Amino acid sequence: MRVKFWGTRGSIAVPGKDTTIYGGNTTCLQITLDSGREVIIDAGTGIRALGNKLSESGDRVDVHLLITHIHWDHVQGFPFFDPVYQPSSKIYIDGFPACMKGLRIPFDTKMGDGFFPIRFDDLNAEMKYLDTLGHGPLEIDGTVVDCIPLQHPQGGFGFRFREGNKTLVFITDNELTNESWAGRHPDDYVGFCKDADVLVHDAQYTPEEIGQRKGWGHSDYVATLNLAMKAHVRRLILFHHDPSRKDPEVRKCLEHCQELAEENKADLGIEAAKEESEFTI
């Protein structure tokens, strides 16, 4: 599978000179399965540029869209996803149980609400809510997608993709703690990520900041690194960069993480997610 980051930022889009390396758009990933099938994760502001690229290709858009949760930074780009205006588009939606509500709300839900000039019900694309991931795995062209509930206000889902013997885990907006939280034990995440080829995980905060941010639903990069080491993943990608974090500061977090991994003799490649970067598993 091939993975491309269209949005890497947490909480709010922060375009500008301080975010040109790691990116200013909020969560959106494009996963192209070996079959050619396109799967999109989340509809943050990064989905706008992805939608334009899909529309410009001239091919009929036929995609899966998986939503982790419905906080604004994960659904706000949906009204600007060009394929929703094309009658030829087919969008299969799944993920967090409230995902359809989350995709609707950025539009005018009733005439005159005033959030957006177009009503959700007037969109031209064919959209189908699969309602599978809330109950069990979803299979897309032989790739099995599983989910795990997140430690995040109002909840959320992390996703694991298994294609042949390759595994990608994507977990954003998740607070890794040493204590059990909302019925989940910290080891549940280790089990979910076990031996993954690539783990993309929330690393919004520094270890210094996390004390003031407990219960906000995000992890510091040391907690994220510890998960990756315990689960023996091969490659860790730090994600959901704090909106206040400038490019050199993101790099500093990354370098500290790499030093800690080396001290622990971990056989682990670490990167920080960069908008428009891609990799193949």
> Which of 120/239 has CB closer to Zn ion?
239
Enter the tokens of residue 195: 């031996």
Least gap, CB of 240 to Zn ion (angstroms): 6
Three-state SS for 146-175 is EEEECCCCCCCEEEEEEECCEEEEEECCCC
Q: Which of 19, 38, 65, 73 binds Zn ion (CB under 5 A)?
A: 73
Among 38, 82, 163, 173, binds Zn ion (CB under 5 A): 173
Residue 173 C-beta: closest distance to Zn ion, Å: 4
Q: Does 71 bind Zn ion (CB under 5 A)?
A: yes
Number of residues that bind Zn ion (CB under 5 A): 4
Give the nearer residue to Zn ion in terms of CB position, either 102 or 143.
102
Candidate segments 52-60, 166-174, 186-194, 264-272, binder of Zn ion by CB under 5 A: 166-174
Instruction: Kindly calculate the radius of gyration of the chain based on its CA atoms and give it in whole angstroms.
Output: 18
Q: What's the rounded Cα separation, in Å, for the pair 4 and 109?
A: 31
Nearest to 273 by CA among 91, 38, 41: 41
Q: Using the minimum distance from each CB to Zn ion, give the nearer residue, 10 or 51.
A: 10
Residue type at position 100: M
Greatest extent of the chain over all pairs of C-alpha atoms, in Å = 59
At its nearest, how many Å lie between Zn ion and the CB of residue 220?
15
| Residue nearer to Zn ion on the CB measure, 171 or 196 | 171
Rounded Cα gap, residues 72 and 76, in angstroms: 5
Given the rule CB under 5 A, which of 65-73, 205-213, 223-231, 261-269 is the region that contacts Zn ion? 65-73
What's 34's DSSP letter?
T
Residue 230: how many other CB atoms lie within 10 Å: 16
Rounded Cα–Cα distance for residues 185 and 219 (Å): 15
Nearer to Zn ion, 152 or 162 (CB): 152
**Least distance to Zn ion, CB of residue 58, Å:** 33
Contacting residues toward Zn ion, per CB under 5 A: 10, 71, 73, 173
